[in-house]
Amino acid sequence: MLVGAQAGAASPVVEYLKLSTDVNDGYASTTVEEKLSNPADSAVKDSFSFLIPEEAFISGFSLTIDGKEYTADVLEKEEASQRFNAAALAGRTAGLLETEEKNLFSYALSFEPGQSIIVKLTYEQALKKTLGEYEFVQFLDSGKSAGYLSVTININSENQLTRLEVPDFPAAKVEYVSANRGQVRYETDSLSASELRVVFDTENPPLNGNMLFYENGSEGYFMHVFSPEEADLGTSAMDKEIIFVLDKSGSMEGYKIEQVKEVFGNIIEDLPPGDYFNIIFFDSTVQSYSGTLMEADLEQKAGALDFVNSLDANGGTNINEALLTALGMFSPESERVPIIVFLTDGEPTEGVVSPYAIRQNIKDANTAQVSIFSIAFGIEDESNYHFLRAMSLENCGTAEWFSPEANAAEEIGSFYETISTPLITDMDFSYGREVSEIVNTGEKNLFAGSDTIVLGKYSPGAGTIRADISANTRTGNRSFSKEFSVIPKAANSFIPRLWAYTTINSLLDRIEVEGENEALVSEVTGLALEFGFVTPYTSLFVELPELANPETIDSVSEEVMEMPAEGEALMDGAMSTPSAGQPKPAASSPYDRNAVYEGAMAEEPVEEAEEAATPGFEVSLALSGLLGIAFCFRKR
């Protein structure tokens, strides 16, 4: 979890690291608290980093010095940057926390002799139910030896908790506190693992779902969980039409193409009877196993396997022609569920190469409303990943990023399994007039073992809320309706934050697809300020009072750390890349990593400055990772 840099020099010690998480009906809030102390008789500086989940939003940060806690405020990004630069130029110590491209939180502090500093960070995330279970991963990697590490994870559910496990982590203690609550605890003074993975199942809600309520003053919030299983529906999963569109350009040569052959060979073998499929490989040109969709019988699957294993990687990347070829094989009249699984490791280089032109061509050709699920296979150029993600979002799908360095075949296979069994399609949710500002965590299709969560506001005083759902199943169109009694509970206080979290993510998805516009940015910013989330348009800002100790101040020289180059780690590459299979961030914003320093550096070079830093806050916090924080002290 923590990484230190300053090899060969005296450095602070990590007295303790405490990680505490509350998971309420799939919404997790985690607080990281660490105490850092300098036992040396001279001032020292050190840098620290730790991973947070890619999908999490930072919602709190504070420093405690000499018993006084200094808490950061969420501000609009421009205002926070202006206040930071003004504080730096005026000689005041300030901190700025902004979003970046990776899930690495990094900071640097300087300590006077004997000084201790407590750092607290809070982040929040929504866990996804996949294949019938929830998973929460707590990163634990440590480059420094912590005197004490504790992990506490509390699981709370409206439905009965049926399973709670910590796979491959026997030292963790699991306790079922009640029928609906469980707890995982772990304590150590010597870390032996990089992460702690918690997996839990809950009893499925009734056929029409559960609805939870919370009222906060003049507003009410509801959470409708809809997650029917095959047994509830009295039918099996729907047949599908699926085309695998796979990159075999020159950059896929070697280990990449071998992993693709392995994973998709296994997928083809496992296609159930009743499905129709095809395989398209592309480089500069397009090669299809068949000119039409083929039934997944033994003969066709054997022929497809031979086709997959016979191909080698070479040539350019003609994404446009490959996807248009695939879309041309689907019929809008088919009753099977249409899906494309698209894998590529690079940018378009042949045929139509403009990402915007390709997206428009795909939208125009997708008359069968095919869901396109994209696999970004080791793509390092962020703009290429965002192109794939935008294309998938506007075609009823998603995009995921996988590292070719890891066990990619297993990871991609697991991803495919989550989308391979469509249970319900074309879902449409409607509620009474007392409900407003609805947001849905899912798409129009529901796959086996997953759920759809609808959140919204209602007017307090409503006695009931009616939910009506229309959808298609294997047996045809179905309706699901229920009148829910409005019973607000204090235990559901997380619902407003989950509503805001989901709404912001939905708006960021729209920005990904539509591009930035004033209305969308304003809505994201307003919600982030109201609920205290760090987003591409908001930042955390903290300003600390000057510590009046001239003798100590004069003994410490001012220093500002250099920003790492794009893609470079803060500490010789330590923890600079996402873990295996980690998807890239969903949204980013134009951001100059050095912008927060421009004001502080404007008047004079740092090396010519003679002023000294305030003890405990000597330096900037390098912006490396999803988040960055900068501490800078200057005098006029």
DSSP H helices, 333-407, are 355-365, 382-393
Residues whose CB is less than 8 angstroms from the CB of residue 522 and which lie 6 or more positions away in sequence, other chains included? none
Q: Is 176's pLDDT higher than 50?
A: yes
Q: How confident is the model at residue 332 (pLDDT cuts 50, 70, 90)?
A: very high
pLDDT at 154 over 90: yes
337 in a domain, yes or no?
yes
pLDDT at 9: 53
Condensed to tens digits (0 to 9), the pLDDT of residues 455-488 reads 999 999 899 999 999 999 999 999 999 999 999 9
Residue 167 sits in the same domain as residue 219: no
Same domain, 413 and 428: no
More confident of the two residues 570 and 263: 263
Helix (H, G, I), strand (E, B) or coil at 160: coil
Instruction: Pick the range with the lowest mean pLDDT from 99-103, 127-131, 220-224.
Output: 99-103
Whether 571 is in a domain gets the answer no
Residue 10 has what pLDDT?
Answer: 64
Residue 231 CB contacts under 8 Å (≥ 6 apart), including other chains: none
For residue 51, the model assigns a pLDDT of: 82
Instruction: Return the top range by mean pLDDT from 37-51, 279-293, 559-573.
Output: 279-293
Single-letter amino acid code for the residue at 498: L
Can you give the pTM of this predicted structure? Answer: 0.84
Q: Which residue has the higher pLDDT, 40 or 127?
A: 127
Query: Does residue 460 share a domain with residue 390?
Result: no
* One domain for residues 368 and 318: yes
- Which CATH number is 218's domain given? 2.60.40
Helices and strands, number each (H, E), in the chain: 12, 33
Question: Mean pLDDT across the chain, nearest whole number?
Answer: 83
Give the pLDDT of residue 102: 54
pLDDT at 191: 72
Name the band, by pLDDT with cuts 50, 70 and 90, for residue 628: very low
Could you say which of 364, 392, 420 is where a domain stops?
A: 420
CA distances to 81, 102, 384, 406, 499 from 76, in Å: 9, 21, 28, 38, 20
Question: How many domains does one find in the chain?
Answer: 3
User: 338-349, pLDDT tens digit by residue?
Assistant: 999 999 998 999
- Strand ranges inside 283-384, DSSP E: 286-288, 294-295, 337-344, 371-377
Q: Is 397 in the same domain as 253?
A: yes
Percentage of residues in the chain having pLDDT higher than 90:
66
Which of 363, 389, 420 is the last residue in one of the domains? 420
d(CA 65, CA 480): 56
Question: In this predicted structure, what is the pLDDT of residue 406?
Answer: 67
Look at residue 586 and tell me if it is in a domain.
Answer: no
| Residue 565 neighbours by CB under 8 Å, 6+ apart | none
- Structure tokens belonging to residue 592: 């100059």
Mark whether 217 and 128 lie in a shared domain: no
Q: Is residue 359 one of the residues assigned to a domain?
A: yes
Q: What is the distance between the alpha carbons of residues 202 and 186, in angstroms, rounded to a whole number?
A: 22
| Three-class SS state of 541 | strand
> Residue 562 domain-assigned?
no
> Are residues 414 and 442 part of one domain?
no
The answer on 148 and 52 residing in a single domain is: yes
Residues 253-302 pLDDT 10s: 999 999 999 999 999 999 999 999 999 999 999 999 999 999 999 999 99
Give the sign of the dihedral formed by CA 108, CA 109, CA 114, CA 119.
negative
Contact call for residues 451 and 466 (beta carbons, < 8 A):
no
Q: What six digits make up the tokens of 30?
A: 């985690």
Integer Cα distance of 340 and 546 in angstroms: 59
Query: What local confidence, expressed as pLDDT, does residue 100 receive?
Result: 58
Q: 504 and 363 in one domain? A: no
In a domain, 472, yes or no: yes
Give the count of beta carbons closer than 10 Å to the beta carbon of residue 59.
21
Residue 187 lies in a domain: yes
Domain of 185: which CATH number?
2.60.40.3680
* pLDDT classification of 250: cutoffs 50, 70, 90: very high
Beta carbons of 337 and 425 less than 8 angstroms apart: yes
Closest CA to 487 of 157, 225, 210: 210
> Do the Cβ atoms of 269 and 281 come closer than 8 Å?
no
Do 124 and 226 belong together in one domain? no
| Domain boundary residue, one of 504, 524, 543 | 543
- Domain assignment present for residue 483? The answer is yes
Tokens coding 3: 């990484």
In the chain, what is the greatest distance between 2 CA atoms, to the nearest angstrom?
84
What domain range includes position 151? 13-157+160-203+534-543
**What pLDDT shows up at residue 607?**
35
User: Does 252 share its domain with 391?
Assistant: yes
CATH of the domain at 387: 3.40.50.410
The pLDDT value recorded for residue 599 is 34
Using the predicted structure, report yes or no on whether residue 536 has a pLDDT greater than 70. Answer: yes
Q: Same structural domain for residues 228 and 244?
A: no
Q: Residue 579 — very low, low, confident or very high, per pLDDT cuts 50/70/90?
A: very low
